[in-house]
Amino acid sequence: MLKIPKHQVAGHKASDGLLGPLIDDSGRFYKPLQSDERGSKEVAFYTSFSSNAMVPEHIRKFFPIFYGTQLLEASDGSGLCPHIVLQDVVSNLLHPSIMDVKIGSRTWYPQAPEDYIHKCLKKDRETSSLSLGFRISGLQLYGSEESGFWRPGKKVVQNLNADEVRVVLRKFVSSYSSADPNFVPDCAFASSVYGGSTGILAQLLELKSWFEDQTIYHFNSCSVLIVYEKGSMLKRPSSGAVVKLVDFAHVTEANGVIDHNFLGGLCSLIKMISEILTSPDECRTKNGLQDSDKNCIYIGDSKGE
Amino acid sequence: MLKIPKHQVAGHKASDGLLGPLIDDSGRFYKPLQSDERGSKEVAFYTSFSSNAMVPEHIRKFFPIFYGTQLLEASDGSGLCPHIVLQDVVSNLLHPSIMDVKIGSRTWYPQAPEDYIHKCLKKDRETSSLSLGFRISGLQLYGSEESGFWRPGKKVVQNLNADEVRVVLRKFVSSYSSADPNFVPDCAFASSVYGGSTGILAQLLELKSWFEDQTIYHFNSCSVLIVYEKGSMLKRPSSGAVVKLVDFAHVTEANGVIDHNFLGGLCSLIKMISEILTSPDECRTKNGLQDSDKNCIYIGDSKGE
C-alpha cells in the first residue's frame, strides 16, 4: 500500500495528483526519477556510493539506505515510472520536527550549462546561501496536539535572510503550543536535540571531519536533513535527533579535491548551532518579548505552500 | 633610503617607473594607497584589526605589523602619495622562496558592483579558484647560486589548473639547482618546510581553528603568503617558514557569520599540503622522469613577467 508522505518538507510533492514520492508501511521511500538527467544521476550516485569501499562505515549512517530502483505506478497517474527506493528517514516518527538545509554558498556545479549556473547564482544571492553558506529549503515544526504541525510556504522559507535563519534554528528546538508560529523561541530542547554526545552538533562535527578529508564526491546542491521526534520530547528528554544527507542529483566527482564549498557551509551551520548551545537565552534576553515582531519573525502559515 | 622590493611576487610593482610599493633597510614595506577606494578600505581594515580586542594574540603573528600611513614620494615620480606602512615580511631573508595563494573559491564580495562581480566570477572559473578553493597568484622559487630565482609570469601562474597547482606545491619544497624550472619535484624540504610543529601545515591549522570561530571579518580576495629561506635550507634544516595573510582591500564585516568561503579554501590547501607530507614521493614514483613533461609542468621563465 503506497501512500503520499505526510512529513515531506522540500522537493516535488505527490499531492494534488502531481508526480512526487510515495512511502509504504515498511519504512521505504519511493522517489520518482525525474525525466531529465537528474534522476539517473541520483541513481548513479547511490549506486556508486553504496559500493564504494573508500566510504568509512561510520559515515554511511548519514545517508538513507538505498534499496535499488523499482517500476511503480506514478503518483500523477501517468503510468509506470522508475522510482529510487530509499529508507524513509521519518517512518518511525509520529510528530517529527524537520529542517531541510541546503548546504553550500554555491549550489551550481562548475560543469553545468550557463543558463542553469545563472539561475542558481541568482537564487544563491537572493537567499541566505551566499551570506551564510547554506539556506533552509524546507521546514516543519510540531507544536502540540492542539496546534499540530506548522509548515511555512516554500518561498517564505527559502527567502529567509541571515538573521531570520538564526531565529528559525532557535525555533526548531523551542517549545511552543499555540497556533501562532510568531512565538519567541525559548530553546527549551536545544541541549537535548543539538547538544550531547549523540546530538545534532556531534553528528555534524563527525560529518565535518569526513569532509575535511574525503576527495571522492562533491555534494553540489545537497541538503542536510535534521529530524527529531518533537512529540516524545514533550514527555521525555530523548530526541532521537538525526542528520541525513539527501538530494544527490548534482553530485560530481571530486578529482582529488575536498568539497570546500560544502565544508565551508557545514562549518557555518555548525558555528550557528554551537552559538545556540552556548547562549540559548540570547533571543529572549536580548530581544525580549516587546520587539518580538522584529526579531522573532513570523515565516508563513501552517497550511503549507 | 627607499628602494624597490626584490622579492615581490604579486600585485602592482614599482619597477619601470610605475606606482608600486617600496621598502627601507629597517624592515618596513610602503604600499601606495590605490586611488580608488581600495587603498582607504585596506587602511580601514588595518586600523580596525590592530585595535580589535577580539582578535586573539596568537593570531596577530599571521598578519604583517601595521605602522600607520605616511606621505611619501611615489615610485612613479607623481609626487607625494599616501602609503600604508607595514612590516616587510621577507626583509631578513636572503634567498626566499615565496608563494602567494589567493584563498576562496569566490573572490568577489556580495555587496560589490555587478560588473566587478562578473569580472571576478569569470576569473574564478578560468583559474583554479572555483575547483580548488584557491589559486596561486604569485610565485618565486630559489634554486641555487647558479640558477638564482625563478619567477614565472603572472598570467602563467594564475592560470595553472588543479593538477598543475598540485605540482607547484611540490616544487615549492623541492631541491633544484639547474636553470630549468621544468624539473621533477623531489619534495626534499617538504618535512622541514610544510611539516613539523612550527611548519606551514601547523600554522595553517592554527589559522583554520580561528576561521572556524571568528565572525569579525570576511577576508574576500585575501592571500596567504607562504615564505621560507631556501638559501639556508641548502645548508641546515631550519626553514623559518612563515604564513602571512596579505591584501585586505576587500575585507567586509562578518555580521556574525564565519568566513565559510575563506575557510573552505583554506581547508582545501591544508588537505593538499597534508598529502604532500604523507606521500612526498608520489610525483617521482607515479609519474617518473620519462613523462615529466606532462606531469611536472614548466610554468614560465625566470625573467619574471
| pLDDT beneath 70, residues of chain B | 179, 233-239, 283-305
**pLDDT score recorded for residue B238:** 62
Chain B touched by A72 (CB under 8 Å): no
**For residue range A51-65, what is the model confidence (pLDDT) as tens digits?**
999 999 999 999 999
Q: What is the DSSP string of chain A?
A: --B--S---SS---GGG-S--EE-TTSEEEEEPPTTHHHHHHHHHHHHHHH-TTS-HHHHTTS--EEEEEEEE-TTS--EEEEEEEE-TTTT-SSEEEEEEEE-S--S-TTS-HHHHHHHHHHHHHSSHHHHSEEEEEEEEE--TTT-EE---HHHHHT--HHHHHHHHHHTTS---SS-S-PPP--TTHHHHT-STTSHHHHHHHHHHHHTT--SEEETT-EEEEEEEHHHHTTSS----EEEEE--TTEEE-TT---HHHHHHHHHHHHHHHHHHH-TTHIIIIITTTTHHHHS-----TT--
Chain B touched by A130 (CB under 8 Å): yes
* Domain-located, residue A2: yes
* Domain-located, residue A135: yes
Mean pLDDT over A266-283 rounds to 91
**pLDDT score recorded for residue B233:** 66
pLDDT above 90 for A134: yes
Chain A touched by B131 (CB under 8 Å): yes
Mean pLDDT over A2-14 rounds to 87
Closest to A177 measured CA to CA, from A152, A151, A141, A147: A147
pLDDT above 70 for A303: no
Tell me, yes or no, whether A36 and A124 share the same domain. no
Tell me, yes or no, whether A103 and A12 share the same domain. no
DSSP-derived 3-state class of residue B217: strand
**pLDDT score recorded for residue A286:** 42
Tell me, yes or no, whether A73 and A53 share the same domain. yes
- Residue B22 bridge partners (DSSP): B30
What CATH number has the domain bearing residue B115? 3.30.470.160
Tell me, yes or no, whether A53 and A186 share the same domain. no
Tell me, yes or no, whether A78 and A114 share the same domain. no
* Domain-located, residue A294: no
Mean pLDDT over A104-119 rounds to 96
Confidence of residue A37 (pLDDT cuts 50, 70, 90): confident
Q: Among B55, B90, B125, which residue terminates a domain? A: B90
Tell me, yes or no, whether B64 and B207 share the same domain. no
Pick from B125, B258, B267: CB nearest A268: B258
Smallest CA–CA distance from B108 into chain A, residue: A130
A256 to B131: CB separation less than 8 angstroms, yes or no: no
Question: Domain of B166?
Answer: 93-278
**pLDDT score recorded for residue A132:** 97
Tell me, yes or no, whether B187 and B225 share the same domain. yes
Tell me, yes or no, whether A183 and A254 share the same domain. yes
**pLDDT score recorded for residue A282:** 73
What is the count of structural domains for chain B? 2
Q: How many residues does chain B have?
A: 305
**pLDDT score recorded for residue A237:** 55
* Domain-located, residue A285: no
**pLDDT score recorded for residue A165:** 96
Tell me, yes or no, whether A131 and A202 share the same domain. yes
**pLDDT score recorded for residue A233:** 66
Tell me, yes or no, whether B27 and B126 share the same domain. no
Tell me, yes or no, whether A66 and A15 share the same domain. yes
Mean pLDDT over A208-228 rounds to 98
Closest to B102 measured CA to CA, from B68, B129, B80: B129
pLDDT above 60 for A181: yes
Chain-centroid distance of CA A249 in Å reads 15
**pLDDT score recorded for residue A35:** 74
Of A185-194, A237-246, B248-257, give the lowest mean pLDDT range.
Answer: A237-246
- Interface size A-B, in CB pairs within 8 Å, comes to 79
* Domain-located, residue B60: yes
Grid cell in block for residue B138: 604569485
Which burial class, exposed, middle or buried, applies to B57 when counting CB atoms under 10 A from its CB (0-12, 13-18, 19+)?
Answer: exposed
Pick from A125, A258, A265: CB nearest B260: A265
Q: Among A53, A71, A90, which residue terminates a domain? A: A90
Tell me, yes or no, whether B4 and B105 share the same domain. no
Between residues A303 and A71, the one the model is more confident about: A71
Mean pLDDT over A285-302 rounds to 41
A132 to B257: CB separation less than 8 angstroms, yes or no: yes
**pLDDT score recorded for residue B301:** 43
Q: Is 0.85 exceeded by the ipTM?
A: yes
Q: Please tell me the pTM assigned to this model.
A: 0.92
Separation CA A198–CA B302 (nearest Å)? 56
Residues 32-51 of B with CB under 8 A from A: none
Smallest CA–CA distance from B215 into chain A, residue: A271
